[in-house]
Amino acid sequence: MKNSLKLLPLLAAVALSQGVNAQQAPKPEQLIKWRQSAFQVVAWDFNRIKANLEGSYNKEDVVKAANTIAAIANGGLGSLFATGTETGRGWHDTSTKPALFAAGSKVGDHAASFAKESAALAILAVTSDQAHVKEQFGKLGGTCKACHDDYKVKD
Amino acid sequence: MKNSLKLLPLLAAVALSQGVNAQQAPKPEQLIKWRQSAFQVVAWDFNRIKANLEGSYNKEDVVKAANTIAAIANGGLGSLFATGTETGRGWHDTSTKPALFAAGSKVGDHAASFAKESAALAILAVTSDQAHVKEQFGKLGGTCKACHDDYKVKD
């Protein structure tokens, strides 16, 4: 008991001096749950924009939805596909194909397109009209589909 | 069959003329799943900022995480607590207490605080240093706790 009490501050000091985070790294199941959640939020906001474009257009609502998609797409999603998350269960079994994790995977290109087109949509939602938002929304949807075709197991 | 085929364009025209969205409104279970997902994404980003503050501070990572929290907090979360979602199952049974939906609920005040403090954090993450981010992060955490104390069933 006495020894372990002495050891704790030492370990903490070592961890801090090495820049190691004091928190435990999240487990793979947690990362999978978070990535499934992130894409669900994107789906929510994508659905909102679609409803606005097909029905009554509320600019403020579209701006909010586009801004959230852009924040997530540019917010470091890659870390949720860390080594160890190739298989496993978050809210449900992962829908990510093993190909995403393979060397030579083009997922970085898809992620960059998703980030770019969503950022453009967030800007257009503020600065432009429904017709331009619709056009850019189509481009954004194209980046979703391209990545899903390559790396997502069909529902 | 012939009659129903004739009726469809008429219904669509009525819906459009009334500004009703052509899409079906999302079901309560879908809204609950989306709100659970949104708060999971907030938890992910909250966890990232905490890890940065307790370990090695990466400004870019903190900016991304704070920006995503701010986008979600200011992105229309209230619509995910629509009438009909008082009970039900998304990824799991809702953790929202019935009190949130009651007349006189102060949830709007909590939501406004969450939106305000997360927006301030997103700005400070870009413009200021770790010490100020830590202080603002504490304020943001306070808004989470205040709302959870009133309206979230304990895990």
ipTM of this predicted complex? 0.86
Identify the burial level of B127 via C-beta atoms within 10 angstroms of its C-beta, where 0-12 means exposed, 13-18 middle and 19 or more buried. Answer: exposed
Q: What's the pLDDT at A41?
A: 98
Tell me the nearest-neighbour CA distance from B62 into chain A, angstroms: 10
What is the mean predicted confidence (pLDDT) over B32-49? 98
Nearby residues of A88 by Cβ (< 8 Å), 6 or more positions away = A28, A29, A32, A94
Tokens (6 digits) for A82: 């860390």
0.90 surpassed by pTM = no
How confident is residue A155, by pLDDT bands cut at 50, 70 and 90? confident
**Residue B133 clears pLDDT 80, i.e. is over it:** yes
Percent of chain B with pLDDT over 70: 85
pLDDT for the residue numbered B9? 40
- Whether residue B22 lies within 8 A of chain A, CB to CB, comes out as yes
Strand ranges, E, within B35-145: none
Dist. CA A42–CA A47, nearest whole Å: 8
pLDDT confidence of residue A5: 39
Question: How many Å apart are CA B94 and CA B29, to the nearest integer?
Answer: 9
Secondary element (H or E) of residue A38? helix A28-54
Q: What pLDDT is stored for residue A98 in this prediction?
A: 96
Please tell me which residue of chain B has the smallest CA distance to A20: B55
Q: How close is the nearest chain B Cα to the Cα of A97, in Å?
A: 21
